[in-house]
Every structure is written in structure tokens, then in C-alpha cells.
Chains A and B, each alone.
Chain A
Amino acid sequence: MPETDILTLQDVSVRFPRRPEAVLSDVSVRLAPGEQLIVFGASGSGKSTLLQTITGVIPHSVVASLGGSVRMGGTLSIETSVVELSRLVGVVAQDPASSVCLPDVEQELALPLENRGVDPALISARIDRALDAVQARMLRHRSTGQLSGGEGQRVALAATLIAEPAVLLLDEPTSMLDAAGLGAVRRAIRSAVDTYRPAVVLVEHRIDEFTGTAGIAGLPPRALVLGEAGTVIADGPTVDVLAQHGRSLNQNGCWLPLETELLAVTGCAGGLGEAGVRAGLRSLGEPAGALGRRQDFGRIVLTATDVVIDRGVGAPNGTATTVLAGVSLTLRGGEIVALLGGNGTGKTSLLLTLAGLHRPSVGTVTGARPGMIFQNAEHQFVEHTVRGEIRHGLPSLSDDELQAILHRHRLTHLADQSPYRLSGGEKRRLSVAAMLAHDRPVLLADEPTFGLDRRDTIATLAALGQAADAGRSILFSSHDLRTVATLADRVIVLADHTVIADGPVFEVLRWDEVLKQAGLELPTLIRHLLKEFDSDARIRRVLGQLDAAVGATT
């Protein structure tokens, strides 16, 4: 086997300057052509660093000390430039917006072939084939600036697969995809593996979405678990690794297949098909008591009446289009409302309008000034330290109050750091803390859990829940129905340019026609719980208990 390995990592260690602990420690992995590996690990365990080490970005483009060796085919990464290594390795990076580089889709796909000196006469047909593989042929003549996040992600995958790299690295390739896009990406990766047999390394958060209905069998057959300081905790068949380490991975806040999560919590394997697992879940919901959130909410704090939202108003070419029309809604103190809808249905536009940041063309929004949390926390940062960020706009905030806020959101140890240097989860905590420091009766949040690991997701939901308990009204948009079922009291669904449903969360989630019209698909777990339990309080308790199994945060 050794002579056929395409990728060999030997005792790889990575350290960044001014950080005492290693990010990767003595990682040794060998991959043969066609072999597929999934990497598990909590956030900060070095998954992205591992991928960067394979591409050669570490140590060539990022300042870090690299110990051990990375060998691809016959070349050592340390002796070869990133560009030369690209002959062998292809990457689908996390953020599609920055991995699609050229103005037109066609050029984007032609570039890797041109760079490799492919005969120009063959390029057009290969572009078609690569786009067909991700079911995105219709995007060929589009300019990349007009692509949605999900479309961009498919184009980025096509631009990587088109060069048929011997080693394929996938860093959360599905983060922005809807159900249809997920299927396309899954098939594209499988067919690439079948046809030219690249070695694959996958890092993925949305694991159940990635595998579709296949469960663990739909994952790469081999799994690697990275622990603290980037040490290899396990390396073996995915089924065995998850069975053995599922519990600790779950406690550490890794995203896991549902089956593994249920095994970790109930102690029974086999997923929802097994009686033992179902019984375990039932017992989690057992002492339901009065644990449901109260239903008697406070007074109305925000009212939207017959709102019409246009975009492009006043643009030089005068092409205003209506995003939403006839939107009327109210928010009450203490109530948590989720805003659902497919990509491009106007969730962000509605939140901006309710926040008073976008003027409705028709209709009115009344109520005290709301606060708003943006999807990308960095957009909100105005100051140079975490402390300053929380003080921003609040000149009268006392030091004690500041300390209390820092403590409540676990930011005390970061108080003097630059907001831009925080991790994804820390940035989210800061953006929530800084907004909540302002005493606004309504908090609007645009995809507040997007891109977070499980532990940070749970922490964010807890912060929003506490704000609601303190009497604030929360309206948050989300594409994750499990998050919605865990937190929301009420759901508003957008589709076809208007509100198509507005009601208690579990009533709306049981309403098949609405979900279908909005293009929403219930996760397997939620579908099961809705069938299994009549009592909303019990469903909520099961979800809460599952989240509680994730270890307390540090």
C-alpha cells in the first residue's frame, strides 16, 4: 500500500507565532487514491489548519512553523510552491463568496484548465460537463456577482472538480445549499470519486443534510478525530470511530450524524428505527411538567401594517422590484418568533425594514427602536477592543455593568482583544452582548447561528432565550428547523412575496402544505418528535435535553 499512497502526512505539527499551544500535533495520515476521509473535531481543534497544511498554504502563505512532512505523490509540500501543488490538490473553501474569483461563471471554470495548459478546443465541453455534474448548467452564462450563496457554492465545487485533482479537499461544501443543491453536490462528489478516484478529505457541519437519508453510510468510510491541540484521537472506519467516540464528540460540541448523537444520549445504536432509541427519547421528554414556555406574552411592542418592501428604489436604472407585499405582523414582549423562508424570499429585507434601516414603500412600522444582530457579526464591529465594542453608543454604562455584561457572555478574558481577532463563536457572542447592552424592547437577528459549531449555537440560543425571559421580544431568521423548534414560540413563514403562515411553532411545523409551499424540509428528528409527542412541552424538553448533553461551555 505505501507506494500507492497519494497523500502522506508524517508527524505533522503546526504552531502559530505568539500562541503557546500547537494547533496540530504529530498528525500522521496516509490516503490512497479513491480513499475518502471525514475529519471530526470541535471548533478550534485544527480541522481547517489540517486542510491548509495539505494545500501548502501552511507554511508558504501563512506564517507558521511546520514540523514533520506532507508528501503528495512524489513531492514534499515544504519544497514545492502552493501553485505547483495545485496540480495535485483541489480545494473547495468554506466561503463561496471569496472562492469564486472572476466576473463570469464561464471564465471561473475555464481558468483552472487554462492554467494547466489544456487544449482550448476541449475547454468548452469540459465546462459543460463540470456544471452538469453539480446540476448547474443554467448558470454557465451568468456573471458571478449575480449568484446566490448556494449557486456560488456549486460553481466553486465545479471549478475545483473540473481540474480532476488527485487530492480533493472539501471544507464545509454545503453550508449555503438548499435541499436540491445538497443532492446535486452529493452526487457530484460521488461521481468524481467513481470516475477518477481522487483521495477526499471532508470537513462538514451539516452532516445529516450532507448524507441525505443515507445516515452514517453516506459519509466517507474513514474518519479521523482531532482532539485538543490537534492530536489524532482516533483514525479508522467511520462507523467504529463514531460508535466509540460519539459520546465525547457530542459533549465537545461537534456536529454529528443524528444516529451518533442519539447513541451518545440514549446509549442505543441504530437511530430512530430502533425501539431502544425511541424509548430513550420518550424518557427524555418524561417529566414534562410545566416546562413549556409560558404563552401569556406581554404587550405588543412592534407592529407592521400592510408593509410593502421594494428594492432598488431610486437606482439609476429605475428597476425596483417588490420583495414582499401585504406584510402585517405584531411582536409581543417576552415572545420568541422565528422567521422562515427559502433563499431570496426577503427575510433579511423584512428584518432591515422592521429595524428602521430600510424604508417600506407602503405601510407603516410602529414601536420603539429595535436592536438588530447581523448575519456576519463583523459587519457590526465599530471599536478596536471587545470592551469598547460593548460600550459603543452607551456613554453612561458603568464599569460594574460592563463587567457584568462581559461575564454573562463569557467575554471577560477577551476584553482587550480586537473584535476581528476572535473566533466565529466569540464574535457572535460579542455581537449579541453589544446589542443586548442597549435596552431595546425588540431584538431582531438575521441567521444568528449561521456557521457556528454546536456548542456556540446552543450558547447563542440560550442568550436569546434569556433576553426573552427578561421581557424582550425576539424575531430571528433561520434555515435550521431544529433550532427553530428548540427556541421559537411562534413562526412566521415567507413565500411568494408575502407571509403565508403565522402561528404557534408546532402548529406551523405540522402544516405540510405551508412547509411545501415555502420549500422547507423537516429534519428527521423533528419529524419523528412531531409524530411521537402530542405535547409541545415534551418535544421542547427532548430537544432541550439533547442540547444539555453537550458539555457546559468553557
Chain B
Amino acid sequence: MTAQLIDIDAPPTRRPVSALARRNPTVKLALLFVVSLVLMFVFDPITPLVLYLLALGAVAVTARIPVKVFVLAHIPFLAFALGLLIVNALSRPGDVLWQSGVLRITTEGLLVGAALALRTLVIGVLSIGFVLSTDGVALMTSLHQHARLGSRLTYAVLAGYRMLEELPREWQTIRQAHAVRAPLRPHGKPPRGLRQYGRAAFALLVLSIRKGERMAQSLESRGLGLTPRSTWRRIPLTRTDWAMAAAVLTTLTVVVGLSSFLGFLEGFHALNT
């Protein structure tokens, strides 16, 4: 195997450092969920724009994400947001703002498109903050502790997480092992077709299922599922976590309330005009 390819001197990973990283993962996940849920009923561009700017500022200040990483992580959300904007602007009926041949942009389309695009960015920036400040292991432990996720499910996910870490190496070894007997293409490289990937994927699947079975047996033999059980390192749920939740929910309420008061807020009916 390729056990010797592991860098044994690598420093321990997953040290929470930033303010956001120290917060309780379950609380963060719940807040992300609540904000997303509320935004589902908002169809004007102003409210999500304000929320996006606030969220961007808050994540930038509390999560200590390097600027480059932050910008790169935005790309998928920006691309999706742009797609929403264009599709809505071009396809919604309403007052025509601009027309050229079969293409026409409507005011209503532009507004709804911008609302959906900005909604994507709000959820995006909060997700980036959540993912980059949360350790997967701590999240699972916290969900087990604070959201009553069963211990068997929790540890099954954690074991799966470990298997996932090893998949790239396993995949590479299988591809190499298959390449040895593969007929070479004219310029001397092994083939890289769909068929070859399919075969390697099948081998990976078989090996992973076997390994999963053995890991499940190991977890059982370690007594996973016995009751009562104790938890060694509790993920703290502190006043600061509640304060963060209160701050986020208050901000959300104030922004949506103010937006409604000032007449910006639009609900589902924006879709029907």
C-alpha cells in the first residue's frame, strides 16, 4: 500500500482559532438554516442586498478567512447567481426594458432575478463562513450532543469521513494498477476513456464496501450503541453562542422589518406581476 507516502510530520490540523470557529457548530448550522428559510419568502433585491453586505462584513471580521480563499469560494455562488439573474431577466413577462431580436429584458424579470441572485449570495457567504470555520468532527459531535443525533449515525458519518479522506489515494493506486496492463495508445500513454474510469470506479466501490463492512464491525466491537454512554469532550454551548444567535436573529428581524416599513419588501406576489 502507499502507507509510506504519508507525511508523518504534518502538524496537527483542525485548531479552531477565529471567533466564528469557536462558536457552537449546531447553533451556526441552525442560524444558517433560519436565514435561508426566511429568505425563501423575500423577492425584492434590496432586503437580500442589505443582508448580504451585513453577512459579508460579519463573516469577514469573525471568520479570519484569507481574502484569496474567500474570493475563490464565492465563485460557484456568483456563477449560480448570475445564471439566476440572466434567466429571470430574459424570461419573465413584464415591462420591456430592452429588446434585440428574440432577446428582451423586463423590469420585473430583472428585479426578481436580482432578488434570487442576491439571496444565493447571502446563503453563499454564510455557508462559506460556516464551512470554513467549522470542523466536521466537531459538527457531528455537537449535533449528537445538542441536536440529539443518534450515536450510531454520528459515528457512522465520522467513519465515513475518514474513509473519504483515503479515497483519493486508493483511487490513484487503482488507476496505476490498471494502467500497467492497459494497451498503450499510439503516443505511449495509457487510455483514459470512460470505460477505464468505470472499471476503476467499480474496483473502488468493491474495496470501499468491504472496508465499510469491516469498519462497521470494528465500531460495534468498540461498543458503539451501548447505553448509557458518556461524552468525553463536550462541545461547549455558551452564553456567547446564544448572544450570537440573538444578534443574528435581531439583525434579520430589523432588516426585514425596516425593509417592509420603507416599502421595499416584496413577497411571493412579486412573481405574479
- Interface stretch, picked from B53-61, B173-181, B239-247, is B173-181
Max chain A Cβ within 10 angstroms of own Cβ: one of B165, B214, B221: B221
Query: Would you call A246 an interface residue if the criterion is a C-beta within 8 Å of the partner chain's C-beta atoms?
Result: no
Residues B229 and A438 in contact, CB atoms below 8 Å apart: no
> How far, in angstroms, from A126 to B71 measured CA to CA in the complex?
45
Which among B5-13, B24-32, B93-101, B264-272 touches the partner chain? B5-13
Chain B residues numbered 157-213 whose CB sits less than 8 Å from any CB in chain A:
158-159, 161-162, 165-166, 173-174, 176-184, 199, 203, 206-207, 211
Q: Quick check: B223 and A149 within 8 Å, CB to CB?
A: no
Chain A residues touching B, majority SS: mixed
Identify the closest chain B residue to A347 (Cβ).
B4
In the complex, residue of chain A having the shortest beta-carbon distance to the beta carbon of B234? A120
- Residue from A93, A107, A376 in contact with B217 in the complex, judged by beta carbons closer than 8 Å: A93
> Do the beta carbons of A357 and B180 come within 8 Å of each other?
yes
Asked if B162 contacts A101 (CB within 8 A), the reply is yes
Q: Does A83 contact B (CB under 8 A)?
A: yes
Contact B223 A112 (CB under 8 A): yes
CB distance from A99 to the nearest CB of B (A): 5
* Of A83, A144, A369, the contact of B225 (CB 8 Å cutoff): A83
Residues from chain B with a CB closer than 8 A to the CB of A145 are 6, 162, 165-166
Pairwise interchain contact A98-B6, C-beta atoms closer than 8 A:
no
Alpha-carbon gap, A312 to B158, bound state (A): 26
Q: Is there a chain B Cβ closer than 8 Å to A231's Cβ?
A: no
Contact A357 B176 (CB under 8 A): yes
Contact: B178 with A382, CB < 8 Å?
A: yes
Interface residues of B in 212-239 (CB under 8 A from A): 214-234
Q: Does A364 contact B (CB under 8 A)?
A: no
The reply to whether B137 and A141 contact each other, CB–CB distance below 8 Å, is no
A352 touches B10 (CB 8 A): no
Given contacts A114-B229, A375-B1, A61 and B221 within 8 Å (CB-CB)? no
Which of chain A's residues have a CB closer than 8 A to the CB of B273? none
Does B3 make an interface contact (CB < 8 A)? yes
Measured between beta carbons, the chain B residues less than 8 angstroms from A101 are 155, 158-159, 162, 215, 218-219, 222
> Does B223 lie within 8 Å of A163, measured CB to CB?
yes
> Which of A30-38, A84-92, A456-464 forms contacts with chain B?
A84-92
The verdict on A120 contacting B232 (CB below 8 Å), with A103-B137, A374-B173 known, is yes
- A115:B232 contact, CB within 8 angstroms: no
**At the interface, yes or no: A393 with Cβ under 8 Å from chain B?**
yes
**Residue numbers in B under 8 Å from A152 (CB-CB):** 3
Residues of B within 8 Å of A358, CB to CB, are 176
Residues in B whose Cβ lies below 8 Å from that of A75: none
In the bound assembly, the distance between CA atoms of A319 and B10 in angstroms comes to: 11
Verify B226–A87 contact, CB threshold 8 A.
yes
Q: What class of interface size applies to chain A in its complex with B?
A: 35 or more
- Inter-chain contacts of A120 with B (CB < 8 A): 230-234
Contact of A382 among B199, B222, B223 (CB under 8 A): B199
A86 touches B226 (CB 8 A): yes
Contact present for A148 and B3 (CB under 8 Å): yes
B194 CB → nearest A CB, Å = 14
Is A146's CB within 8 Å of the partner chain B? yes
Say yes or no for A526: interface residue by CB 8 A criterion. Answer: no
- Are A98 and B214 in touch, CB under 8 angstroms? yes
> A22 to B252, alpha carbons, bound, how many Å?
68
- Chain A residue with minimal CB distance to B202? A382
CA distance A193 to B116 in the complex (A): 66
Q: In the complex, which residues of chain A have a beta carbon less than 8 angstroms from the beta carbon of B5?
A: 311, 323, 348-349
Chain A contacts for B162, CB-based, 8 A: 100-103, 144-145
Proximity string of chain A (376-387) to chain B, C-beta cutoff 8 Å, 1 when within and 0 when not? 101111100000
Cβ B222 vs Cβ A112 within 8 A: yes
A545 to chain B, nearest CB (A): 33
| Whole-angstrom CA separation of A16 from B214 in the bound complex | 18
Q: Inside 8 A of B181's CB, which chain A residues have their CB?
A: 371, 380, 382, 392-393, 434-435, 438
Q: Is the CB of B231 within 8 A of A82?
A: no
Closest partner residue, chain A, to B137 (CB atom) = A103
The 0/1 profile, CB within 8 Å of B marked 1, for residues 114-145 of chain A is: 11111110011000000000000000011111
Interface residues of A in 492-535 (CB under 8 A from B): none
Q: A111 with B155: in contact, given A57-B217, A101-B215, A145-B165 (CB under 8 Å)?
A: yes
* Selected contact of B176 from candidates A146, A352, A378, A381, CB within 8 Å: A352
Measured CA separation A309–B221 after assembly (Å):
41
A378 touches B13 (CB 8 A): no
Q: B134: shortest Cβ distance to chain A, in Å?
A: 14
Is A104 close to B, CB under 8 A? Answer: yes
Residue A468 is within 8 A (CB to CB) of chain B in the complex? no
Which residues of chain A are within 8 angstroms of B221 by Cβ–Cβ distance? 55, 82, 86, 89-91, 93, 160
Asked if A321 lies at the interface with its beta carbon under 8 angstroms from chain B, I say: yes
Chain A nearest CB from B112 CB (Å) reads 38
CB proximity of A207 to chain B, nearest CB, Å: 23
- Cβ 8 A contact of A141, one of B3, B12, B206, B231: B12
| Residues of chain B with a CB closer than 8 A to A111's CB | 155, 219, 222-224
| B237, chain A: closest CB distance, angstroms | 16
| Inter-chain contact B203/A378, CB cutoff 8 Å | yes
Closest to B1 in A: A375
Q: Which B residues touch A345, using CB under 8 A? A: 4
Q: Are A376 and B1 in contact (CB under 8 A)?
A: yes
A83→B224 CA distance, assembly (Å):
7
Smallest CB separation, B163 vs chain A (Å): 9
Q: Would B214 and A83 count as touching, CB distance under 8 A?
A: no
The answer to whether B182 and A393 have CB atoms under 8 Å apart is: yes
Query: How many Å from the CB of B168 to the closest CB on chain A?
Result: 11
**Nearest CB in chain A to that of B158: its residue:** A102
Q: Is A97 part of the binding interface, using a Cβ–Cβ cutoff of 8 Å? A: yes
Residues A99 and B214 in contact, CB atoms below 8 Å apart: yes
Contact, CB under 8 Å: B8 / A148: yes
Question: Is A146 within 8 A of B230, CB to CB?
Answer: no
Residues of chain A in range 479-494 having any CB-CB distance to chain B below 8 Å? none
| Cβ distance B266 to chain A, nearest Cβ, rounded Å | 42
Contact B155 A119 (CB under 8 A): no
Bound complex: CA of A221 vs CA of B181, how far in Å?
49
Residues of chain B within 8 A of A312, CB atoms compared = 7
Question: Could you say which of A107, A114, A371 contacts B180, with CB atoms under 8 Å apart?
Answer: A371
Q: How far is the CA of A179 from the CA of B182 in the complex (A)?
A: 39
* 6 A-B contacts (beta carbon < 8 Å): A97-B166, A101-B162, A111-B222, A163-B222, A319-B7, A379-B174
Q: Please give 16 more A-B residue pairs, beta carbons under 8 A apart, in addition to A117-B226, A120-B230, A382-B203.
A: A61-B216, A82-B221, A98-B215, A98-B218, A101-B162, A102-B137, A103-B161, A107-B137, A120-B234, A148-B6, A152-B3, A159-B222, A344-B4, A355-B176, A379-B203, A435-B180
Residues on B lying within 8 angstroms of A by beta carbon are 1-8, 10, 12-14, 136-137, 151, 155, 158-159, 161-162, 165-166, 173-174, 176-184, 199, 203, 206-207, 211, 214-234
Closest 7 CB pairs of A and B: A115-B223, A344-B4, A98-B214, A379-B177, A86-B223, A83-B225, A393-B181
